[in-house]
């Protein structure tokens, strides 16, 4: 049986996440202390108490979620040693996946995440935009919708999340027009509460700044198979990973292809580290018989560790 470790993106961040782990696993505080030093603010307090508007801001949500997901993975490793066969993360979560797979050290991954959050937040402030999910339509139809809506203003596919679910990103006018066209095609249009047009050309300035930041870090070949967002394919060479991380910011997340790659790799057990159940939910839609686990507190950690130990992980 193949096992995949998955790591969520910043949309999973919420006030109060990790509260039980802070009480029961004191070492979690060290992860947040290091992130707080990088940000220059008390990230633990912000995570546990809010306000929500500040926590979900890109520059705060990304390091907070990275610190918590990394801590969940490391605590799990103590209870259930061993590597996964596959590693992947959604957008921000890609950095946590690279840390978990040994490709990035914690210090370097945290530094990159803090810079990424700041760069993206500043790009969004300079070039405002929004995002929305289009449901019940094929990928090709959504792509055609974006091409047509672009006559009004910029809008592009941003996240290919799974069958019948594509997130589009762009200016408010472009996304709104895509919503109108999706409705005409029988699709469902769901605006998202986000602070910018992630994974679109509007955040390209952040990608260019991130390209320079990535040059300063050491990347090792990952343990297991790492699947990259920008390609939806396995990547193992450090320079290829570096380039894909740069491209990831302003290009779509090809999560559908990531799911298909894991199904082809006979992944029958998936563990999502951090708050929420977004990624395990997506995997169940393409592989209903798979065993899925979400590690975000002591009880879920113990349950997942025991289950995977019984599978011979």
Domain range list for the chain: 2-125+201-310, 129-191
Contacts of 119 (CB under 8 A, 6+ apart): 205, 206, 209, 210, 213, 249
> Smallest Cα–Cα separation from 252: which of 90, 97, 38?
90
- Mean pLDDT value of segment 112-119: 98
Provide CATH code, domain 129-191: 3.30.70.250
Verify whether residue 236 is a known catalytic residue: no
User: What backbone phi and psi angles, to 5 degrees, belong to 9?
Assistant: -90, 180
Which structure tokens are listed for 18?
A: 């990790």
Whether the Cβ atoms of residue 4 and residue 270 lie closer than 8 Å to each other:
yes
User: Taking 60 as the threshold, does the pLDDT of residue 312 lie above it?
Assistant: no
**pLDDT the model gives residue 5:** 98
Kindly report each contact of residues 290-293 with a partner whose C-beta sits within 8 Å and lies 24 or more positions away, as own/partner: 293/269
Q: How confident is the model at residue 311 (pLDDT cuts 50, 70, 90)?
A: low
Question: In the chain, what percentage of residues exceed pLDDT 70?
Answer: 99
Catalytic position from the list 12, 36, 69, 91:
91
Q: How confident is the model at residue 310 (pLDDT cuts 50, 70, 90)?
A: confident
**pLDDT the model gives residue 40:** 94
- Mean pLDDT value of segment 245-261: 98
Question: In the chain, what percentage of residues exceed pLDDT 90?
Answer: 96
Q: How confident is the model at residue 1 (pLDDT cuts 50, 70, 90)?
A: confident
What is the strand order of the sheet 86-89 is part of? 225-226, 86-89, 2-7, 267-273, 291-295
Verify whether residue 169 is a known catalytic residue: no
CATH class of the region 2-125+201-310: alpha beta
Q: Which position has the higher pLDDT, 313 or 9?
A: 9
Catalytic position from the list 90, 199, 251, 287:
199
Q: What is the pTM of this model?
A: 0.96
Which structure tokens are listed for 293?
A: 């686990």
Average pLDDT, the chain: 96
Cα 9 to the center of its chain, rounded Å: 3
- Mean pLDDT value of segment 272-293: 96
């Amino acid at each position: 049986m193949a096992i995949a470790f998955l790591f969520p993106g910043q949309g999973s961040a919420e006030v109060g996440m990790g509260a039980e782990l802070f009480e029961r696993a004191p070492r979690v505080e060290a992860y947040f202390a290091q992130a707080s030093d990088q940000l220059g603010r008390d990230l633990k307090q912000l995570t546990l108490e809010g306000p929500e508007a500040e926590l979900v801001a890109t520059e705060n949500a990304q390091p907070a979620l990275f610190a918590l997901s990394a801590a969940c993975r490391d605590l799990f490793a103590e209870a259930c040693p061993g590597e996964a066969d596959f590693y992947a993360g959604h957008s921000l979560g890609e950095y946590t996946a690279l840390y978990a797979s040994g490709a990035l050290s914690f210090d370097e991954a945290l530094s990159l995440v803090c810079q990424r959050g700041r760069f993206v937040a500043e790009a969004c402030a300079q070039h405002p935009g929004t995002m929305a999910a289009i449901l019940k339509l094929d990928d090709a139809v959504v792509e055609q919708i974006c091409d047509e809506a672009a006559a009004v203003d910029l809008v592009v596919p941003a996240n290919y999340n799974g069958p019948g679910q594509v997130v589009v990103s762009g200016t408010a006018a472009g996304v709104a027009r895509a919503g109108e066209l999706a409705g005409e095609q029988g699709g469902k249009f769901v605006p998202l509460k986000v602070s910018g047009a992630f994974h679109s050309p509007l955040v390209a300035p952040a990608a260019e700044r991130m390209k320079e930041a990535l040059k300063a870090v050491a990347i090792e070949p990952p343990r297991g198979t790492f699947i990259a967002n920008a390609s939806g394919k396995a990547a193992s060479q450090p320079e290829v990973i570096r380039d894909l991380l740069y491209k990831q910011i302003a290009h779509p997340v090809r999560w559908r292809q990531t799911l298909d790659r894991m199904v082809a790799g006979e992944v029958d057990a998936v563990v999502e580290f951090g708050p929420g159940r977004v990624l395990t939910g997506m995997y169940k839609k393409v592989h209903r018989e798979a065993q899925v686990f979400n590690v975000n507190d002591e009880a879920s950690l113990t349950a997942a560790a025991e289950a995977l130990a019984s599978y011979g992980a």
